[in-house]
Every structure is written in C-alpha cells, then in structure tokens.
Structure 1
Amino acid sequence: MSVKTIAGLAREGGVGVETIRFYQRRGLLPTPDRWSRDGMGTGIRRYGEEDVRRLKFIRSTQTAGFTLEQIKELLSLDAGEDRVRARMLTAERLEALDRTIADLEDARAALRRLASACASRDRGPCPIIAAFQGEAA
C-alpha cells in the first residue's frame, strides 16, 4: 500500500490541501490518526489508496453535479445492496439537470432574439442593453 501525506493525497486527487480538510470537516473523508516513529501520537497523518479512491469518487460525483449531501449519502451506500437508492439519487440529479438545460435553452433563445433585434436596428437604444436595464426596446 502506498502511504501519502495530505499533500500527496491532494496532489493525486487534483485538489488543494484545504479541499481535503474541508471534505474531512463535512464527513466525506476520514481524518486519520497522527503517526510518529514511536507509534500513534504527534506525527503526521498518513493516507492510503482507499483515501485516494474515495477522493476521486467525491470529485467525479461533484463533476456530475451531485451536492455534498448527496455525495455523502452515495458514499454511505453499499454498492451491491443499495442500487435502488443510488438510482433515486441519480434520477433526482437528472431532473435537476433537465431543468437547468431548459432554463439555459430559454436564456439562449432570449439572447438570440435580442442579438437579432440589435442587428436589425441602427438607431435608438440598443435592445440588449435596454432589456437588461428592464426597459422596453
């Protein structure tokens, strides 16, 4: 087993040391005991491959848009036994993504209309600026 310091764990996970500490405070990553040459006590904390795996899981689920609370729950699930709950959490995330995508498509359509209106007029107030100022163009 490869043993790492917090800096090594952060480097391997592509995050900063403070991110590791934040995940520890939130209960997503365990905080290992301190070890010294004399045994447990005042030395530095050591992290193993399970910590790396867990950190990478956290990062990939964050990329998928899961909240930290959802990630904490996913981490607590048993991979073989809790498939129903994992599917439920994923379905919730998909619904949220669908809502976001719809909102972004609406925003894109509105911006296209404004850009078109701006391009079709050479005089008067700019429809884009007027729209964002809450004025009718």
Structure 2
Amino acid sequence: MEARSLTIGYLARETGTKVETIRFYEKSGLLPEPARTAGNYRAYEEAHLKRLHFIRRARDLGFSLDEVRAMLTLSDDSTRSCEAVDEIARIHRDEVVRKIADLTALKKELDRMISHSSHGAIADCRIIEALSN
C-alpha cells in the first residue's frame, strides 16, 4: 500500500506552522527533506506530520531548537535509554523555574511602582522615572 502524500500547505494547517517555518525546519535538519513529485512539489508523509507536531509542541513549551534537535536525534533510536531526554527536560525545567522567579520579582516591582505612582502629570510619574534610571 502506497503512503499518502501530504502537501506543505496541509502540514502547515494541521500543525499551525507557517510554510516558511516548515522550510526552515527542513533546512536546519529538524525535519527530513521530503520526496518530490514529478512536478517537483514536496511530497510529505505521515511521519513528517508526526515529527512536525513534536517540534511544534516542544517549541510551544519553550525548548530551544538545539534541545529539540537533541531529543529528535535520541527519539530516532527507540532502543536508547530515556535518561538523556530526562536530562534535557530537567535542564529546561530548571530554566523555567528561574524564569518564573524572575517574572515573580518583576511583578512585585511593577506592583510597587504602580502603587506608588502619583497618577498625575508625566513629569511626576514615578514609573517613567524608575524606568529612565
């Protein structure tokens, strides 16, 4: 049975990915180049769609392109230990925790600045003053 050929437009719609981004993923090696039709159009397969879903989900969760590339390389060998993927996830989680702490501190500072704002003229605005220093 012959595999169903998918267009780049179909992949884009199914995954919410721009066509240019799909081409970028191909050029950067994250997504294997598809076969070509007689008319030289890209002919994707279900495996491309599945891999693109993985890339999109990982990117949505904030994984870098290098982290995604590493996880895809690891996933290409289903017999490997999951330990390396766990380590990538641990490192990413630690970065997320750091960002949450930074954002929490930023929120507190913004709350403080807003509560001390004079709500008067711009010349007296403590937020503008604080951001200018």
Task: Indicate the TM-score class for this superposition, using the shorter chain for normalisation.
Answer: 0.7 to 0.9
TM-score normalised by structure 2 residue count? 0.87
- In the alignment, which residue of structure 2 is the partner of 1:30? 32
1:76 aligns with 2:73: yes
Amino acid across the alignment from 1:72:
R
- C-alpha displacement of 1:32: 1.7
Deviations 1:85-110 (A, max 9, x none): 00000000001001100110110010
Task: Note if contact 2:35-2:44 (Cα within 8 Å) is conserved in structure 1.
Answer: no
Alignment pair present for 1:9 and 2:8: no
Task: Tell me what 2:112 maps to.
Answer: 113
**Aligned counterparts of 2:51 and 2:41: Cα–Cα separation in 1:** 20
Shift of 1:79: 4.3
Task: Compute the RMSD of aligned alpha carbons.
Answer: 1.8
Note closer, same or farther for the CA distance 1:129–1:66 as it changes in structure 2 (3 Å cut).
same
Q: Quote the residue 2:50 is aligned against.
A: 53
The total of aligned residue pairs comes to: 128
Whole-angstrom CA distance in 2 between matches of 1:64 and 1:79: 23
1:118 aligned counterpart, secondary structure = coil
Query: Which amino acid in structure 1 is aligned with residue 113 of structure 2?
Result: L
**Residue deviations 1:49-107, cap 9 Å, x none?**
10000000000000111000110110011345231000000000001001100110110
Structure 2 runs not aligned, ≥5 long: none
- 1:64 aligns to what? 61
CA shift for structure 1 position 5: 1.4
* Identity fraction in percent: 36
SS of the residue corresponding to residue 3 of structure 1 reads coil
In structure 2, distance between residues paired with 1:116 and 1:82: 52
Q: Does 1:20 align with 2:22?
A: yes
Unaligned runs of at least 5 residues, structure 1: 37-41
Q: How far 1:2 sits from its partner (Å)?
A: 2.8
SS in structure 1 of the partner of residue 37 of structure 2: strand
CA distance in 1, matches of 2:35, 2:80: 30
1:133 lines up with 2:132 in the alignment: yes
